[in-house]
Amino acid sequence: MVKGREELQAGSEFIVTVNLVGCLRDLYPHLAEQEVIELDRPVKVAEMIARLGISSRMVLFATVEERLVPKEALIDRSCEVNLISPPAGG
Amino acid sequence: MQYGYAGKILKINLNSGDYSAGSIPKELSDQYLGGRGFVARILYDRLKPGTDPLSEDNLVVVATGPLSGHLLPGSGKTHFGALSPATGGYGDSNLGGHFGPNLKYAGYDCLIIEGAAEKLSTVIIDDDKIRVVEDESLRGKGAIEAEKALKTRLGDDFQIITTGPAGENEVAFACISHDFGRQAGRTGIAAVLGSKNVKAVAVRGTGALPVYDSAGAQKKGEEMYRVCYSKPGFKTWTPYGTASLTDWANEVGAFPTRNFQSSYFEFHHAINGQAIRDHLLVTEKGCFGCPTPCGKYGLAETTVGKAYVEGPEYESIATLGGSCCLESIEEVAYANYVCDQLGLDTISAGVVVSFAFECYEKKVITKEEVGRDISFGSLEDVIYLLEKIAAREGIGEPLSKGVKHAAAVFGGGSEKYAIQVKGLEWSGYECRNAPGMMLSYMTADVGAHHNRSWALGYDISESDADVSALISAGTSGELGVATPEGKVDHVISMQHSRPLFDALGICRLQTQEIGFETEHYEEVFELITGRRVSWEAMIGISERIWHLTRLFNVKHIEGFGREYDYPPRRLTEDPVTTGPNKGRFIKREILDRMLDEYYEKRGWDKNGVPTEETLERWNLNNGQVVDLRW
């Protein structure tokens, strides 16, 4: 679940809701379908993927608020991010 | 009455033209669910060892699942099976579209076609009116052309499967076509139809299906659609479909290129999902009940010709594009169209043609044998070979039986680059840095096919020793070396979960690609059938089917065992020539280690044959056959 702003820990600036799509759930069973990350500074999508312990190679697309973004895109506000794996073989 | 099922199995004998229908034995639905389960059990029970796949003694079994045709996401799937002319073992393939639901609405969950017609015929199932109609006018017609002709004649409300000239001519990798571009592509079932002189099967069903809790099932079905639409992956999956794999497969070094000499194709950006949208796409197209239409219907214009075509899907891009080195999406799509009309499986066809290119390049076959110069990258040469294969003319004759057979005819060491397992050509993933995916191909019951297990994700994700370093290097950094450790469990798990969808008669892409939860299927299964069966219990049924198809191969392929599970030597001896995995290959010792572990965990002996204990556990050694006499 997405935490409300009032629940943010001291020092955190914004929260990012990350949805894992496709085979990422199978590959990383310790992660939930929806993960919430608290950030205290802007980060690149790639860094956020690393923070979750996901191999960058298994993220085919990333979207921020439903818009395709490169992995170098900066996340600097509360938003919803989708990480989409390659199709698992058709 | 069994809720959820139409209730009957229809048998058509082409020798006599007689047909009969009987109830589905409860033990069949309880122990095998439907679809792939019905196909496997019926073929296992009814085919004798020594049967020639292209004789009238073979059967074609068409089966829907208990969820097929009901109002829920992805319920348009139909399964086809026969003793495969490609492998001599268990063969099956699956298609979407609308055929299966209509078969159920006509009153039949399953259709068994036996014997052979004297003349080219169409089987027509119009609710309870069954006819076998001789029709020589369809001879030689393309699969899509034949469907169009029959739709014009019978009416648009008939759902039709057809074969092309390749099926009529019994090419080992002839495919079944439906809905102007959907195929049950693999294992040569259309060649078996061709041997029976069946050009097409047309069905129109107007009946209803019995549902245990009709209101509850409808409510649940509506909820399932809402859940699909709400999934974050919904909006990103549909625009590109399977073609979105193309760039990724190149970046991780898994794209079959130049007949699997390499795993990286430098023109991949020109044949990817975006290229389809930019240069081909006319509209998206889905199957019965589909909330996530992945089909791409487009117009391909090339110097050779232009055509409307559905696709190409990733697998066709990989084999016709990468393996044959076609450098534009229009060329790949046009080659796809030629395969569709001829009724050739694009996966096998691409691998067979690229094998011929390499044999020619290496002077294993001569210009005189081929009939002209041929080379990688030429659309004209691809089409030339496809037409020769479908007609079984000249060089097309040995190639029409697949690369394993052709290599035996050609000699010259060409078996090393005949990329197949068990006689079935390898689909779209090069595996020399992917031991889990390699094992998936090696142990798939039908031969080298990806849909039973796709362990490539585990290979790639677990090969990254330092994620941060990879990210800073972007996607062009060097890949870690994938290890075989832990892969066997992943492969076995996938070999149960993925084929289960084929037994239920539903598409797995909603679960696999957009994260649709399997709990929904448990619930809707209970509402439709009145039976509470957990997903775990269904996985158990899928495991039973897996042992059964292995037994099928033991029964029908003389000397079947471990030797049939190895890939060609190219993949264990020759390093990848270019790309991220340049220099890599997997030694046979590693494959042996994985096979030993795989057999042990499966409960098979060291030769890969299920043990007595395993057969007993799955109730497969009682000598009983499911009674289909009526």
Tell me, rounded to whole angstroms, the distance of Cα B122 from its chain centroid.
24
Nearest to B254 by CA among B479, B416, B417: B479
d(CA B190, CA B186): 9
> B604 pairs with which residues across the strands?
B610
Of B236, B454, B471, the CB nearest to A63: B236
pTM of the model: 0.94
Of B249, B467, B514, the CB nearest to A56: B467
What percent of chain B is predicted at pLDDT more than 90?
88
* Per-residue pLDDT reduced to its tens digit, A17-70: 999 998 998 899 999 989 999 988 999 999 999 999 998 889 988 999 988 898
Residue A53 touches partner B, C-beta closer than 8 Å = yes
Question: Is the CB of B450 less than 8 angstroms away from the CB of A90?
Answer: yes
Angle formed by the axes of helices B329-342 and B346-361, nearest 10°: 110
The reported pLDDT for the residue numbered B240 is 79
Phi-psi region of B439 (alpha: psi -120 to 50; beta: other; left: phi over 0): alpha
Question: Is the CB of B515 less than 8 angstroms away from the CB of A21?
Answer: yes
Range in B248-252, B410-414, B460-464 the model is least confident about: B460-464
Of A20, A58, A89, the CB nearest to B454: A89
Distance from CA of B176 to the nearest CA of A (A): 18
The reported pLDDT for the residue numbered B464 is 52
Q: B474 or B526, which is more confident?
A: B526
Residue B450 touches partner A, C-beta closer than 8 Å = yes
Q: What is the CATH number of the domain that holds B183?
A: 3.60.9.10
Question: Is the CB of B233 less than 8 angstroms away from the CB of A56?
Answer: no
Q: Which residue of B has its CA nearest to A81?
A: B232
Rg of the Cα atoms in chain A: 13
Question: Quick one: CA dihedral B228, B234, B240, B243, positive or negative?
Answer: negative
- Which residues are CB-neighbours of A7 under 8 A, at least 6 positions away? none
d(CA B383, CA B521): 43
Q: Which residues of B touch A57 (CB under 8 A)?
A: 248, 251-252, 460-461, 464, 470, 475, 479
Where are any strands of DSSP class E within B185-280? 198-204
Q: Is residue B52 part of a domain?
A: yes
The reported pLDDT for the residue numbered A90 is 66
Phi, psi of B349 (to 5 degrees): -60, -45
Q: Is residue B164 part of a domain?
A: yes
The reported pLDDT for the residue numbered B219 is 98
Distance from CA of B604 to the nearest CA of A (A): 27
Rg of the Cα atoms in chain B: 23
Residue B577's CB is within 10 A of a number of other CB atoms, namely 15
Residue B458 touches partner A, C-beta closer than 8 Å = yes
Average per-residue pLDDT for chain B: 94
**Token pair of B140 as six digits:** 């030689």
Q: Strand order of the sheet with strand B108-114?
A: B19-23, B8-13, B108-114, B60-63, B78-83, B90-95
Distance from CA of A76 to the nearest CA of B (A): 19
Q: Which residues of B touch A31 (CB under 8 A)?
A: none
Residue B21 exposed, middle or buried by CB count within 10 Å (0-12, 13-18, 19+): middle
> B113 pairs with which residues across the strands?
B12, B60
Residue A50 touches partner B, C-beta closer than 8 Å = yes
| DSSP symbol at B272 | S
* Per-residue pLDDT reduced to its tens digit, B423-448: 999 999 999 999 999 999 999 999 99
Q: Which residue of B has its CA nearest to A62?
A: B236
Residue B233 touches partner A, C-beta closer than 8 Å = yes
> B134 pairs with which residues across the strands?
B121
Q: Is residue B99 part of a domain?
A: yes
Q: Is residue B454 part of a domain?
A: no
| Residue B358 near residue B365, CB atoms below 8 Å | no
Of A19, A23, A86, the CB nearest to B232: A19
| Residue B438 near residue B470, CB atoms below 8 Å | no
**Token pair of B545 as six digits:** 């089917």
The reported pLDDT for the residue numbered B467 is 38
d(CA B592, CA B444): 16
The reported pLDDT for the residue numbered B36 is 98
3-state DSSP call for residue B570?
helix
Of B233, B313, B470, the CB nearest to A21: B233
Helix, strand and coil content of chain B, in percent to the nearest 5, comes to 45, 15, 40
Question: Is the CB of B457 less than 8 angstroms away from the CB of A56?
Answer: no
Question: Is the CB of A27 less than 8 angstroms away from the CB of B461?
Answer: yes
Residue A85's CB is within 10 A of a number of other CB atoms, namely 27
* Per-residue pLDDT reduced to its tens digit, B312-370: 999 999 999 999 999 999 999 999 999 999 999 999 999 999 999 999 999 999 999 99
Residue A58 touches partner B, C-beta closer than 8 Å = yes
3-state DSSP call for residue B69?
coil
Say whether the peptide bond before residue B312 is cis (omega within 30 degrees of 0). Answer: yes
Considering its fold, how many domains does chain B have in total? 1
Of A28, A55, A90, the CB nearest to B315: A90
Helices and strands per DSSP (H, E), number in chain A: 2, 7
Q: Is residue B95 part of a domain?
A: yes
Q: Which residues of B touch A21 (CB under 8 A)?
A: 231-233, 236, 513-515
Question: Is the CB of B245 less than 8 angstroms away from the CB of A86?
Answer: yes
Q: Which residues of A touch B237 (CB under 8 A)?
A: 84, 87
Residue B456 touches partner A, C-beta closer than 8 Å = yes
Q: Where residue B294 falls among pLDDT bands split at 50, 70, 90?
A: confident
Nearest to B529 by CA among B294, B317, B212, B249: B212
3-state DSSP call for residue B322?
helix
Q: Is residue B186 part of a domain?
A: yes
Phi, psi of B611 (to 5 degrees): -80, 165
The reported pLDDT for the residue numbered A68 is 84
Question: Is the CB of B251 less than 8 angstroms away from the CB of A54?
Answer: no
Residue B449 touches partner A, C-beta closer than 8 Å = no
Question: Is the CB of A90 less than 8 angstroms away from the CB of B451?
Answer: yes
* Per-residue pLDDT reduced to its tens digit, B105-115: 999 999 999 99
The reported pLDDT for the residue numbered B479 is 59
Residue range(s) defining the domain that contains residue B161: 8-204
Question: Is the CB of A58 less than 8 angstroms away from the CB of B231?
Answer: no
Q: Which residues of B touch A82 (CB under 8 A)?
A: 232-233, 236
Phi, psi of B93 (to 5 degrees): -160, 165
Of A26, A57, A87, the CB nearest to B460: A57
d(CA B41, CA B402): 27
Residue A51 touches partner B, C-beta closer than 8 Å = no
* Per-residue pLDDT reduced to its tens digit, B545-557: 999 999 999 999 9
d(CA B583, CA B601): 32
Pairing of strands B121-126, B129-134: antiparallel
A3 pLDDT higher than 80: no
Residue type, B300: A
Kindly state the helix (H) or strand (E) to which residue B300 belongs, with its residue range.
strand B295-301
Q: Is residue B180 part of a domain?
A: yes
d(CA B62, CA B109): 8
- If you average pLDDT over residues B492-505, what whole number do you get? 97
- Which residues are CB-neighbours of B562 under 8 A, at least 6 positions away? B595, B599, B606, B607, B608
d(CA B602, CA B298): 44
End-to-end CA distance of chain A: 31
Q: Is residue B364 part of a domain?
A: no
Q: Which residues of A touch B252 (CB under 8 A)?
A: 57
Q: Which residues of B touch A53 (CB under 8 A)?
A: 467
DSSP-assigned states of every residue in A22-40: TTHHHH-TTS-SEEEEEES
Q: Where residue B218 falls among pLDDT bands split at 50, 70, 90?
A: very high
